[in-house]
Amino acid sequence: MKKAIILILGIACIILIFYGIKSDLQNIKEVSNKEKVDPRTVSYNGFLRTQGSKLVNSKGEEIQLRGISSHGLQWYKDLYTYDNLQTLRDTWQTNVFRIAMYTDPNQDGYIKNNSLKEDVITIVDRLIELDMYVIIDWHILSDNNPQTYQTQALSFFDELSQKYSNTPNVIYEICNEPNGDITWENNVKPYAEALINVIRHNAPNALVIVGIPQWCKDLTPVSKNPLSFSNVIYSVHFYAGTDGKLLRNKMTEFLNNDLPIFVSECGITDNTGNGQIYEYEFKEWVNYLNENNISWLFWSFSTKEESSSILTKEYTPYIKPESSNDEEPSEPLANDLNNYLTSTGQIIKNILISYPKD
Ligand code: IDC
């Protein structure tokens, strides 16, 4: 009798151990599968390139990047902490962030304030660590012609493309929005050729975004006379209160000419970045972008009191004190940006998280 009990207990133990090991193995397999195939990461996708009108990853699969653009780095750089970028990745499900570095000296941009380059590098390195794509945006705006500071742009991108020559995360946006008294043929195209030559020399596989005339809306001259480089993508910017079907029709025509488009900036207001919110029109835009697999980034990650901001002015980020690098904030939730969303922030977050998991 005793022997029989011992035997039964023994068999029961063996069965339990067997199932324990099996479920452990299953867990390990599930975790390692997840680690291997998260299709939003740079480790999965590698260097991006263009193929006709499409953007594809290193395996030739189509890809759509979605993310948020910073506001002017000179004003809001403290917001782009590692924790906040991680939140954009994990809770907002984005895979790209854009660093808008204004150039205009009259706006305290890079031409006057060279130390912004160090801030760009700090944020780029955070995004590399987070396995996300990052766009370095030479944010011309009131300095309408990209040729005005071409010399400075050449040395800026020369240095950064050397530094990040083998880093698939980094995408170069060489001029935000050319505007004013300039043309594609005489100003933007020659500027782009000079810049792309330098970037390609250092980082032959890098994707380059080229802003086009009239605040990134005038596609016609580009279509007639595109750049002859590969892996170049043209940026179109829209603001839902200003731009609609007319611009979308032009984009469709452009795509049909086998040329690629990247929406490196877009907004839910009119083009002032303030005033009314055009939620319905913005969602029409997002549907169009999804149908065509066009990447897009939202303007903007800021706390400025204007309706394009995703955060309220009360938000302040938690900055880790220098001396206690590893310490957790005592009240982490108090600094969670998700608790300080404007209605714009809430709408954009909902749009981003409603995508099916890739
Ligand atoms: C706006 C900012 C605003 C700032 C202004 C001038 O939202 O706070 O005062 O720039 O620096 C763009 C530009 C982008 C603009 C945005 C909204 O790329 O810099 O930001 N916009 O006006 N193009 C179309 C709209």
pLDDT value of position 28: 47
Q: Which atom of ligand 1 is nearest to the CA of 177?
A: 18
Where are the domains positioned within the chain? 48-353
What confidence tens digit (pLDDT) does each residue in 249-303 have?
A: 999 999 999 999 999 999 999 999 999 999 999 999 999 999 999 999 999 999 9
The pLDDT confidence band at residue 230, using thresholds 50, 70 and 90, is very high
pLDDT value of position 38: 86
177 is catalytic: yes
Residue 114 has pLDDT above 80, yes or no: yes
Percent of the chain clearing pLDDT 90 (strictly above): 83
* CA-wise closest residue to 287 among 199, 355, 196, 347: 355
The pLDDT confidence band at residue 349, using thresholds 50, 70 and 90, is very high
The pLDDT confidence band at residue 225, using thresholds 50, 70 and 90, is very high
Q: Which residue has the higher pLDDT, 95 or 317?
A: 95
Q: How far apart are CA 111 and CA 103, in angstroms?
A: 6
What confidence tens digit (pLDDT) does each residue in 18-49 have?
A: 555 555 555 544 445 445 668 999 999 999 99
Overall CATH class of domain 48-353: alpha beta
Residue nearest (by alpha carbon) to ligand 1 atom 12: 271
CB of 138 closer than 8 Å to CB of 156: yes
Give the list of residues 6+ apart from residue 282 with CB closer than 8 angstroms, or none: 240, 268, 347
N-to-C CA span, the chain = 59
pLDDT value of position 318: 75
Q: Judging by beta carbons within 10 Å of its beta carbon (0-12, 13-18, 19+), is residue 157 exposed, middle or buried? A: buried
Residue 133 has pLDDT above 50, yes or no: yes
Q: Is 148 in the pocket of ligand 1 (CB under 6 A)?
A: no
Q: Is 310 in the pocket of ligand 1 (CB under 6 A)?
A: no
- Residue 219 CA: distances (Å) to CA of 96, 183, 240, 254, 347: 24, 12, 18, 7, 29
Range in 189-203, 230-244, 333-347 the model is least confident about? 333-347
pLDDT value of position 29: 47
Q: How far apart are CA 342 and CA 335, in angstroms?
A: 15
Average pLDDT of the chain is 91
Q: Is 176 in the pocket of ligand 1 (CB under 6 A)?
A: yes
**Catalytic residue (one of 177, 193, 314, 331):** 177
Q: Are strands 232-239 and 170-173 parallel, antiparallel or unpaired?
A: unpaired
Please state the rounded mean pLDDT for residues 342-349: 98
